Structure 1
Amino acid sequence: MQIKHTPLGHIAFCPPTSDAITNEWFTVEHWQKLSAVTGSSKGRYTTWFVKPQSSEQSEWVLRHYYRGGLIEKISKDSYLYTGLKRTRAVAELALLEQLYSEGFNVPRPVAANVERCGVHYRADIIIERVEGAQDLVAKLSQEPMSSTQWQDLGSCIAKFHQRGVYHADLNAKNILITDNKFYLIDFDRGELRQPSPKWQGANLERLLRSFRKELTKLPSLAFTESDWQELILGYSKT
């Protein structure tokens, strides 16, 4: 990961991303001017999909960091600055770079933008879009997964846990599936920890709660408690 100064703060980027990257790359208006916005994903806020000018590059995902919870009412997207490496964007980019280099199923990290304003900062991140992937809620709203797939998912999560990867928001929408692979995404506030049954178990419980929550919103979702047991079987066997 390389760091460059900008008039507004810093940009961290991972080769082969060009060092010509500027703050404008982290605004949707920049990509709209280039007619390069290919889509979006709407949750509490909008995440944008953009296509770099080089036809050899995959689509990118552009995400701005927003606060959640009660503090959102005070400050929507401003965070206390305590050092560049401690900013949410650079910390997430660094974690992704390490995991990607080790062969874990995570999106390729591209760049992070940190803009200072006194003792506070705002931030954005760009990652590569996983081609042909959909999140598990979208997948299970269309069709069920096989027992083998559920076990493969459990095995995938176990490998992250064995490496000590703590995912702060492990839920069904932060897991992507392609034809034959699972990927974990959104590592905001994630970190490497000493493996421990306590936090690993809490991670799994959080994921189970998310499946159950999605099921209350969409009763036809292809998820059952026996599916969860298959996931746990795959997790335990890894």
Structure 2
Amino acid sequence: MGRRTALGLLVVLLAIAGWAVSSWLPEDAPTDRRTPPPVATAEPSSGPVDVRKVRRDLTGLATVARRPEGLAAYERSSFGGGWADGDGNGCNQRDDVLRRDAVEVRTGQQGRCDHDVLAGTWVDPYTGRRLTFTDLKEPRQAQAIQIDHIVPLSEAWRSGASRWSEDRRRAFANDLGNLLAVDGPTNMSKSDDDPAGWRPRKGFQCAYAARWVETKARWSLAADDSERQALGEMLGYC
């Protein structure tokens, strides 16, 4: 077989292979794989913190003013009306997080949810205190353990979410990777502060900063200068 004939045959074979791969793709298949949609049910990172990676991710965040001018006022309703069942397991995100973060837990069946959390013990990561509740259907006890957005919704709004669609904001509000079961009063004191305004106990600052940066990087949110400085200081405890 001559050289030109061999090259011609190779071109034909490559064309056939390309057609075979493309023929089973749906017409609306995404072609840009650089920016996949965030995973709304991501589990939190486990194991040691990769500080070098976190610092790289922090450096890669876009910069925003601490109080952006012309920004519409934040409203909680912009992120949906409450906890959703983000992963379709029959239970909403509150029950999923309570069960995930518990040291000990007692659950029951409620509707489609097979792990409706009734009671249990948790260790609040923000203070290190041990929290035990015997009846989470009792309002006072239910209020004493809350599900915190590590990156608060209003902070997300200021750092990019104001430009998102309603569906994307709702997904962010129910992102398991950005949720923690914490002590109620401590969560209330944190409110919507960023790391420049509020920090957990020193022993949790490394993990907290890592989770904050991880969330902002995954959702392409920005950071302001004082926030960056505070995060860098907390990563120093890793």
- TM norm structure 1: 0.25
More helix by share: 2
* Structure having greater relative contact order (Cα 8 Å, sep ≥ 6): 2
Q: Which has the larger radius of gyration?
A: 2
TM-score (norm 2): 0.25
